[in-house]
């Protein structure tokens, strides 16, 4: 694991434009074997746990919504393509071709594209956050930190998400609400 990941959760890190993330005690890049003996875990750790776990839970919520939207848009696309098929057959019987059928066909295919796009967005979001969560959990295990993270995500009629989080860390309860 990259040593800089240890510094990201430590309260003693500082930023240097030339070297990047450094230890404020030594003013150098991290230099330790397995664990940092001088690490101070407090506010940065809490912030990182909240940030990563909130994103992770949001990715699970987005996946659930994406599956529902995939089904909805797929069924709508099938319906529109079915209507297009019926239009083409009825116009063919009348020996006519109309550009309206092409428009209806494009709408149906667009709905399929939207269905697949929603799933791809969900998959990309999950692929980005999962490694971050794994690294954070490995660091927590390495430093014997146990935490419990709970979140409740809801979306109102206007599409604004509200996430209520509860973090239990070292006997301390932290509750926050985010709207975005």
pLDDT digits (tens, 9 = 90+) for 109-152: 999 999 999 999 999 999 999 999 999 999 999 999 899 999 99
Please tell me the predicted confidence (pLDDT) of residue 29.
85
List pLDDT tens digits, range 59-98.
Answer: 999 999 899 999 999 999 999 999 999 999 988 888 777 8
- The H or E element spanning position 38 is none
d(CA 37, CA 9): 14
Is residue 178 domain-resident? no
Exposed, middle or buried, 17 (CB in 10 Å: 0-12/13-18/19+)? exposed
Which range marks the domain in which residue 109 is found?
Answer: 45-145
CA-nearest of 20, 37, 41 to 29 is 20
Residues 54 and 131 placed together within one structural domain of the fold = yes
Query: The whole model's pTM is what?
Result: 0.80
Residues 101 and 57 placed together within one structural domain of the fold = yes
- Other Cβ atoms less than 10 A from the Cβ of 5: the count is 17
Which residues on neighbouring strands pair with residue 175, listed in sequence order?
166
């Amino acid at each position: 694991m990259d040593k800089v990941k240890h510094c990201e959760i430590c309260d003693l890190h500082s930023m240097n434009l030339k070297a990047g993330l450094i230890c404020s005690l030594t003013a150098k890049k991290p230099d330790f074997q397995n664990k940092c003996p001088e690490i101070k875990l407090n506010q940065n750790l809490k912030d990182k746990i909240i940030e990563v776990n909130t994103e992770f839970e949001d990715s699970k919520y987005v996946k659930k919504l994406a599956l529902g939207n995939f089904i909805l848009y797929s069924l709508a696309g099938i319906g529109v393509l079915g209507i297009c098929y019926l239009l083409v057959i009825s116009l063919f019987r009348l020996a006519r071709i109309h550009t309206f059928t092409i428009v209806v066909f494009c709408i149906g295919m667009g709905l399929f594209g939207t269905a697949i796009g929603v799933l791809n967005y969900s998959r990309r979001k999950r692929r980005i956050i999962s490694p971050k969560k794994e690294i954070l959990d490995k660091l927590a295990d390495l430093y014997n930190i146990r935490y419990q993270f709970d979140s409740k995500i809801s979306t109102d009629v206007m599409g604004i998400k509200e996430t209520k989080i509860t973090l239990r860390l070292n006997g301390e309860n932290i509750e926050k609400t985010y709207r975005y």
